[in-house]
Structure 1
Amino acid sequence: MKKTLFFVYNAKSDIWNKYLDIFHKTMSPTTYSCDLCSLTHGNFSEKKVWKDFRENSDHEFVFMYKDEFLGTISSLERKNLIFPIIFQKHGENIDLLFDSEKLSSLNSVEELIESLKKKIS
């Protein structure tokens, strides 16, 4: 059975918030509040090394905004989730792979990829 990785951004899905996020990330990247987005994306697109890793992985990748995730994955029943986060779903089990603290400690997309490889192998 194929494992699914959920990457949940610390952002909301509506168009206004998307524009604000792009503006914030471009104008003040050091204060941008989504470490996951900062690791995997440049100002306007996905980083090539991340895209190559994702496209060549044996896992399914699902990317969601926090409001979408909370509306879809209600079975978690975790009240104090701090975003961004990465979960792995295998069958009916959903396990936390990286919390926001771990994601903020990573310094590059390459470090994220290596850490993910260790967790999902």
Structure 2
Amino acid sequence: MRQLLFVYNATSGPGHALLDSLHKVVSPGTYPCKLCGLTYGLTSMRAEWKQFLQTLPLPARFVYRDELPAAYPALVGQALSAIFLEDEAGRVEPLITAAEMQPLDLAGLMALLRQRLGAVI
């Protein structure tokens, strides 16, 4: 099944989520997960992003970097946060790289994602 793969540059689990929330408040400039910073507020997914995800033409899967070795070993070592496109055979290609995501705000991320999807779908 084709799907979008959103990979957070963060560690999974509720304890890590709490630490990440604190990091975003105390030192947002050093927070390493750009995707988290853009799409999540202090405790939950931003409503604008959540609504946007529902309009996308492909299903979305969200993975944390510590889950990559088991779920997507070929992505271990990739610069993160990033968004990938997974094809029916399980092959994964970058759609938006970490470098491309870095200067974006939420509106810019949504616009770039919509543009890139338009080119491949």
Query: What TM-score comes out, normalization by structure 2 length?
Result: 0.87
Percentage identity across paired residues of the two chains: 30
Aligned counterparts of 2:27 and 2:40: Cα–Cα separation in 1? 15
Identify if the C-alpha distance between structure 1 residues 100 and 12 changes in structure 2 by more than 3 Å, giving closer, same or farther. same
Read off the aligned partner of 2:34 and give its amino acid letter: D
Read off the aligned partner of 1:88 and give its amino acid letter: L
Read off the aligned partner of 2:111 and give its amino acid letter: E
Partner residue in 1 for 2:92: 94
Aligned counterparts of 1:102 and 1:71: Cα–Cα separation in 2? 26
Read off the aligned partner of 2:92 and give its amino acid letter: I
Partner residue in 2 for 1:6: 5
SS at match of 1:19: helix
Partner residue in 2 for 1:118: 115
Aligned counterparts of 1:117 and 1:84: Cα–Cα separation in 2? 17
Q: CA deviation at 1:16?
A: 3.2
Q: CA deviation at 1:67?
A: 1.0
Partner residue in 1 for 2:26: 27
Q: CA deviation at 1:42?
A: 1.2
Q: CA deviation at 1:25?
A: 0.9
State the number of aligned residues.
117
Aligned counterparts of 1:112 and 1:53: Cα–Cα separation in 2? 11
Partner residue in 2 for 1:41: 40
Unpaired segments ≥5 residues, structure 1? none
Aligned counterparts of 1:39 and 1:116: Cα–Cα separation in 2? 13
Unpaired segments ≥5 residues, structure 2? none
Q: 2:102 aligns with which of 77, 81, 104?
A: 104
Aligned counterparts of 1:45 and 1:79: Cα–Cα separation in 2? 27
Query: What TM-score comes out, normalization by structure 1 length?
Result: 0.87
**What is the Cα-based RMSD across aligned positions, in Å?**
1.6
